[in-house]
Amino acid sequence: MNTDIAIIGAGTSGCFLAYQLQNNGVDCVLIEKSRGLGGRCSRRFIDSDYSIDLGAPAFKINSMVSPQLLEHIDTWVNAGTLIPWTHKKSRFNTVESISSTTAFCAAPSMNAWHKTMAKQTPVLAQNRVHTVSKVDDAWHLLSEDNQLICIANKVILTCPQEQALNLLEPLSVFDTDELKQHSNLPQYVCAISADHAEVEVPYFQGGHSVLDCAISENHKPDRELSSELKQVWLLHSTHEWAEENSHLKHDEAALELTQAFYEAHHLEHRPSILTSHYWRLSRHQVAAKEKPYLWSKEQGIGCCADWLSSGDIAGALTSALSLFEEITSNSERTFP
């Protein structure tokens, strides 16, 4: 396949960048190593007709978000792609800390939003880019067995830091030593079901050595439970606990997360584990950076991702928007 811009990675940054480029008449293609879109906003089926958000449950924005990004969010909200979720929130073991907060959820699942953003963009799924090289002024993207995946005039990496560094270091286009200041944080996550709706506050975060957060899946907007389930919770470990217990298998870690939740809420019935996962690269600890992206006009290669910004979904969006504005500004305009 030949294209103007090849985007490596179909997570939040990649899909949002593709969305902006396609809306501006730029030919691009998304190349994704996994089977589907969404990255860490993944969805997992529990049975044939019920699935859950196993990755990022929602995202928040703050006053630092640009007006341009707010316009995009308003567009998605008006279209029903994103839904504001106003809910109670508390720290673990501290009922006095209950407050109200608002976040954004994609409907009916987090990765449905990514599918909407990328609906006009060709996607080459289950293709892991192993090498990026310049041949006759065009970028050739090769697989691990040296098979050609795509030829592009420009390449933008939106993949996790580890993969991005592996691809960028041989090119000597950017100072990769600076990029290594960003560290990767692991996390265990599991979904559990309780026989009775025994916990009323739908979101807990902070104040626990094992659990970073616990989210009630059925309290999120536009979610339907399987008829056999009363209440489903997503439990995310702290990054510190995950690092200390990285030797555990994900199902072993799930038992400990479930036990911690059971004890924290003094439940009468022990929840059952529905599924579990280990995110080796759950989130990035971000080092300060002047711009939330990388771009070389001369070489036609760049990078945007959450780990170049605030390390979360809002950071992924900010990074993709900033790079898009850079490469399509008047001084850089090379597109139709």
Phi, psi of 19 (to 5 degrees): -60, -45
Residue count of the chain, please give it. 336
Q: What pLDDT shows up at residue 268?
A: 81
Tokens in use for 171?
A: 């090119």
Q: What pLDDT shows up at residue 111?
A: 93
Q: What pLDDT shows up at residue 336?
A: 45
Domain with CATH 3.50.50.60 in the chain: 1-37+118-181+287-336
Does the domain spanning 1-37+118-181+287-336 belong to CATH 3.50.50.60?
yes
H-helix or E-strand spanning residue 272: strand 272-285
Highest mean pLDDT among 47-56, 197-206, 304-313: 304-313
Q: Report the pLDDT averaged over residues 272-296.
A: 82
Measured CA to CA in angstroms, residue 295 lies from 277, 292, 317, 332 at distances of 34, 10, 16, 11
pLDDT at 196 over 70: no
3-state helix, strand, coil in the chain (%, to 5): 25, 35, 40
Q: Report the pLDDT averaged over residues 89-98.
A: 83
Choose between 288 and 161: higher pLDDT: 161
d(CA 36, CA 305): 18
Q: Which fold has domain 44-111+183-285?
A: Polyamine Oxidase; Chain A, domain 2 (3.90.660)
pLDDT at 123 over 70: yes
Answer whether 292's CB lies under 8 Å from 179's CB: no
Q: What pLDDT shows up at residue 285?
A: 60
* pLDDT tens string 137-188: 999 999 999 999 999 999 999 998 889 999 999 999 998 887 777 667 899 9
Choose between 179 and 10: higher pLDDT: 10
Q: What pLDDT shows up at residue 284?
A: 59
Q: What pLDDT shows up at residue 37?
A: 95
Q: What pLDDT shows up at residue 331?
A: 44
Secondary structure E strands in 17-76: 28-31, 43-47, 50-53
Question: Please, which pLDDT band fits residue 50 given cuts at 50, 70 and 90?
Answer: confident
pLDDT at 333 over 50: no
Answer whether 321's CB lies under 8 Å from 69's CB: yes
Question: Please, which pLDDT band fits residue 332 given cuts at 50, 70 and 90?
Answer: very low
pTM for the full predicted model = 0.93
Q: Report the pLDDT averaged over residues 269-284.
A: 85
Domain with CATH 3.90.660.10 in the chain: 44-111+183-285
pLDDT at 335 over 80: no
**Candidate from 72-86, 212-226, 234-248 with smallest mean pLDDT:** 212-226
pLDDT at 68 over 80: yes
pLDDT at 325 over 70: yes
* pLDDT > 70 fraction of the chain, expressed in percent and rounded: 93
Average pLDDT, the chain: 90
Answer whether 312's CB lies under 8 Å from 285's CB: no
